[in-house]
Structure 1
Amino acid sequence: MERPKVRSYRDLLVRKAAMDIAVDCYAATKSFPASELYGMASQIRRSSASIAANIAEGYGREQTGSFIQFLRVAQGSLKELETHTIVFGRVGLLTNEMVAVLLSKSDDLGKMLHAMIRSLQRKAEE
């Protein structure tokens, strides 16, 4: 089966997965108390949105080295998101079920980012 042609960063499956996690994070934090809106809710929302934003920005640089660097920044934001998710679960702001869902999706996205970085590195070495 042939993969669809990537014409834009919007076509990247890794970016679509990152967008899905960001949407999930916004939905999960809607139930946070108002006192956390600018604290913990903001932290998880910003880190989740940053993943997709860095993928898009790196793609837009049109240089493999820059794209790889931005994918690494996205990996860092993903680790930040995972940490916030665990903390919010431990303090009772997220249910155990939501923590499990977000961490599972984060694991999948992390594997996608890692595979994309390795693929781009191999192509750059050719």
Structure 2
Amino acid sequence: MSFKFEKLIIWQRAMDFGEDINTIIKGFPKHEMYNLSSQILRASDSVALNISEGYIEQSNTEFNRFLGYSVRSLAEVVTCLYKAKRRDYITNEVFDKLYKESFDLMNMTIAFKVRLKQ
């Protein structure tokens, strides 16, 4: 037994991405707990949450809207990553890895959106 969205590669990748973000925020300073740490974690979790919410019993048009929310959340994550890098909370290597994951996931999601419209 499983939900249909669990088979979506973009959902699986978004779930992994959220866990990667959760791992890095453990190294952020305590004073960021309710600021940047919380913001980036909520935004990264929102990517997978919107995919699953939009996929269940929604029309393609409605699902497309939720995929758009996922893409916007990715943009928010990227901005938070820049903030974390500027504040020296993450290394350039960590930034580059998560930036690439964000970019790849965004492109996959946009391609999926285009496919839904066909």
TM-score bucket of the superposed structures, by smaller chain:
over 0.9
Aligned to 1:52: 48
**CA-to-aligned-CA distance 1:55-102 (integer Å, 9 cap, x gap):** 000001331110000000110001011111111101111111111010
Following TM superposition, where does structure 1 have runs of at least 4 consecutive aligned residues deviating by more than 2 angstroms? Answer: none
Q: Which of 51, 57, 68 is the equivalent residue of 1:61? A: 57
Identity, in percent, stands at 34
Q: What residue identity is the alignment partner of 2:52?
A: A
Q: Which of 91, 104, 109 is the equivalent residue of 1:95? A: 91
Looking at structure 1, the residues matched to 37 and 3 of structure 2 have their Cα atoms a distance apart, in angstroms, of 34
- TM-aligned CA deviation for residue 7 of structure 1: 6.0
Note if 1:77 corresponds to 2:70. Answer: no
TM-score (norm 1): 0.89
Gap regions ≥5 residues in structure 1: 1-5
Q: Which of 98, 104, 115 is the equivalent residue of 2:100? A: 104
After superposition, the Cα gap between the structure-2 partners of 1:27 and 1:75, relative to the gap in structure 1 and judged at 3 Å, is: same
Looking at structure 2, the residues matched to 24 and 7 of structure 1 have their Cα atoms a distance apart, in angstroms, of 23
Q: What residue identity is the alignment partner of 1:55?
A: I
SS at match of 2:89: coil
Looking at structure 2, the residues matched to 75 and 34 of structure 1 have their Cα atoms a distance apart, in angstroms, of 28
Q: Which of 3, 12, 15 is the equivalent residue of 2:8? A: 12
Gap regions ≥5 residues in structure 2: none
How many pairs align? 117
Looking at structure 1, the residues matched to 51 and 12 of structure 2 have their Cα atoms a distance apart, in angstroms, of 10
